Amino acid sequence: MQKVTVLLAAIIALVLGPGLCTAGLGARQTVHPVDHGKALVNPQMGWTMHFYSNIITNYGSKLAPSDTLDDFPGLSCVYLRVPWSFLEPEEGRFNWSLLDTPAQRWIETGKQVALRISSTESWMRWATPKWVHEAGAQGYNFTVGRGVDPNGPYWEPDYKDPVFLDKLDRFLAALAQRYDGNPNVAFIDIGSFGVWGEGHSWASSKLPFDFAARQAHVDLYCKHFKKTLLAISDDFAGPEEPGAHLPITDYALSKGVTLRDDSICVQPPPRSWFHAELAQAFWPKLPVVLEHEHYGPSKQKNAWGDGSLLAKSIEEYHASYMSIHWWPRILLEENRAIIDQINRRMGYRLQLREARFPTQVRLGGRFTIETTWANAGVAPCYPGGFVGFTLKDGQGGIVAAFVDESFDVRDLKVGSPGEAPTQALTSELIVAEKSYGFAPVSQSGTYDLYVSVGRRDATPVIALPHDDDDGHRRYRLGSVAILPRVE
């Protein structure tokens, strides 16, 4: 009986071709993977931990060198914000270890780094190195709250001063030589303008600065950073300036610079933030970065509430990054429920809603896998990627790998919570297609089928919110029997 069946299959294959023959091999199976609800660590999204928050002791100083906050769900990046003078205490002599030491701790765990280098601080005089002033750069003494003060203890540069800009240009060239295009760097803030690098002077000289001054700093960063994502503070346009389009942020966007807002929950409602409207031009193209107020002062000012405002800001800005702007485990302990809620929406969250595939296929025969996808996050999957399928044997060895390049997951649309649009994809595959030989060489048997999202070469990149993964961001769908080739 077996010989008759094989002979009949061979005759059908000759008449109909291998693809149509395979279609009649057996039933299809359907699976509906469940979103496990846990935080994901993926490229271009996540929580950023303020290891240095201008003042070196805030907020990583209490962490042991081995402590990279692996217990903080969704943490993807360590954020290092320091004054320029700490990195270049003498002209041409750099203290890169200040950045590289904490950075290496997180890089070793597969995380990334983000940077801001400031030139004005409200707690130290020489955020811009003193040697820049001694070289002839002009600026202003100021007192916090008073503004320009000849006897003020702090100093702010004239941001258009040619000496200042020349020295800054040289520093940024050195910074870019180390970090531009470095895959370990998630983004770099344009931090040389305004107090704390936030693009305003209300806590320093209180002087107005024209568009040309702001533009000069955007241009300098764009001159040196050609590959790494840059971010500009919304306060460059004015801390409370309303509008969906403002000149300096429109200019930054035209240069490929994204938006960050450092004013989340600084003031009590209804003044919890000011530039969600401004973010609408950015988020469809670039990941938006948010930073909440230092958690302790925010609570003291009744600006924090129950944490729901933080989740609301993620929705309104379609944000991909949020800061950890306090002692991290205190923030986590007191806000775990809202952090978990944010992690289910912040950035992108690619869900496989359904997969249909055959129970058995034949070597050399065409077959299809039908999948349905959704992005349950608030932002596009900016790095993009393609759906891949992998067959593995019982020892975990890769028998065959496929990629469907017809659809980029970056094109998945976002929606309100629970209302993400879906995208159906039909992928046509062949196991061991016959050419001059069998590519790749495969044997009949029963194999595990995995799905993944990643590069065109079938390398998985994007973590999915599903269980039963292989430790390499491939997720098991079920088993498929591979039948012998019909010659």
Same structural domain for residues 16 and 165? Answer: no
> For the chain, how long is the longest CA-to-CA vector?
102
pLDDT tens digits, one per residue of 217-243:
999 999 999 999 999 999 999 999 999
Question: Of the candidates 343, 375, 391, which is a domain's last residue?
Answer: 343
* Rounded Cα distance, 194 and 214, in Å: 9
* pLDDT band, residue 26 (cuts 50/70/90): low
Same structural domain for residues 11 and 144? Answer: no
Same structural domain for residues 73 and 215? Answer: yes
Question: Of the candidates 318, 343, 368, which is a domain's last residue?
Answer: 343
Phi first, then psi, for residue 73 (nearest 5°) are -65, 130
pLDDT at 439 over 70: no
Tally the C-alpha atoms within 13 A of residue 299's C-alpha that lie toward its C-beta.
Answer: 10
SS3 letters for the chain? CHHHHHHHHHHHHHHHCHHHHHHCCCCEEEECCCCCCCCCCCCCCEEEEEEEECEEEEECCCCCCCCCCCCCCCEEEEEEEEEHHHHCCECCECCCHHHHHHHHHHHCCCCEEEEEEECCCCCCCCCCCHHHHHCCCCEEEEECCCEECCCCCEEEECCCCHHHHHHHHHHHHHHHHHHCCCCCEEEEECCCCCHHHCCCCCCCCCCCCCHHHHHHHHHHHHHHCCCCCEEEEHHHHCCCCCCCCCHHHHHHHHCCCEEEEEEECCCCCCCCCCCHHHHCCCCCCCCEEEEECCHHHHHHCCCCCCCHHHHHHHHHHCEEEEEECCCHHHHHHHHHHHHHHHHCCCCCCEEEEEEEEECEEECCCEEEEEEEEEECCCCCCCCCCEEEEEEECCCCCEEEEEEECCCCHHHCCCCCCCCCCEEEEEEEEECCEECCCEECCCCCEEEEEEEEEECCCCCECCCCCCCCECCCCCEEEEEEEEECCCC
* Rounded Cα distance, 69 and 226, in Å: 31
Residue closest to 345 by CA, chosen among 282, 419, 250, 396: 419
* pLDDT band, residue 15 (cuts 50/70/90): very low
Contact 111, 70 (CB under 8 A): no
Chain centre to alpha carbon of residue 473: 17
Here the CATH number for the domain that contains residue 298 is: 3.20.20.80
pLDDT tens digits, one per residue of 290-342:
999 999 999 999 999 999 999 999 999 999 999 999 999 999 999 999 999 99
Same structural domain for residues 214 and 357? Answer: no
Q: Determine how β-strand 55-59 pairs with β-strand 75-83.
A: unpaired
Here the CATH number for the domain that contains residue 26 is: 2.60.40.10
Q: What is the pTM of this model?
A: 0.93
Which tokens in the block code for residue 434?
Answer: 């016959």
Identify which of 238-242, 285-289, 439-443, 483-487 has the greatest average pLDDT. 285-289
Same structural domain for residues 322 and 236? Answer: yes
Tell me the angle at which helices 328-343 and 308-317 cross, rounded to the nearest 10 degrees: 50
**What pLDDT sits at residue 438?**
54
Domain that holds residue 229: 46-343
Residue closest to 481 by CA, chosen among 448, 437, 432: 448
pLDDT tens digits, one per residue of 409-436:
999 999 999 999 999 999 999 988 766 5
**What pLDDT sits at residue 441?**
64
Q: How many domains are contained in the chain? A: 2
Same structural domain for residues 407 and 450? Answer: yes
Same structural domain for residues 413 and 332? Answer: no
pLDDT tens digits, one per residue of 61-105:
999 999 999 999 999 999 999 999 999 999 999 999 999 999 999
Same structural domain for residues 90 and 227? Answer: yes
Q: What percent of the chain has pLDDT over 90?
A: 91
**What pLDDT sits at residue 24?**
44
Contact 385, 408 (CB under 8 A): yes
pLDDT tens digits, one per residue of 382-411:
999 999 999 999 999 999 999 999 999 999
The per-residue pLDDT of the chain, averaged, comes to 93
Same structural domain for residues 336 and 353? Answer: no
Same structural domain for residues 479 and 446? Answer: yes
Phi first, then psi, for residue 316 (nearest 5°) are -70, -35
pLDDT tens digits, one per residue of 108-162:
999 999 999 999 999 999 999 999 999 999 999 999 999 999 999 999 999 999 9
Distances (CA, A) of 60 to 28, 81, 286, 327: 53, 12, 28, 8
The label of the residue with tokens 């973590």 reads 463
Same structural domain for residues 27 and 50? Answer: no
* Rounded Cα distance, 472 and 463, in Å: 9
**What pLDDT sits at residue 2?**
32
The label of the residue with tokens 């983000």 reads 114
* Rounded Cα distance, 111 and 115, in Å: 14
C-alpha radius of gyration, the chain, whole number = 27
Which tokens in the block code for residue 444?
Answer: 């009949």
Q: Could you report how far apart the first and last alpha carbons of the chain are, in Å?
A: 19
**What pLDDT sits at residue 221?**
98
Question: Of the candidates 343, 376, 410, which is a domain's last residue?
Answer: 343
**What pLDDT sits at residue 18?**
35
pLDDT tens digits, one per residue of 178-209:
999 999 999 999 999 999 999 999 999 999 99
Same structural domain for residues 205 and 339? Answer: yes
* pLDDT band, residue 25 (cuts 50/70/90): low
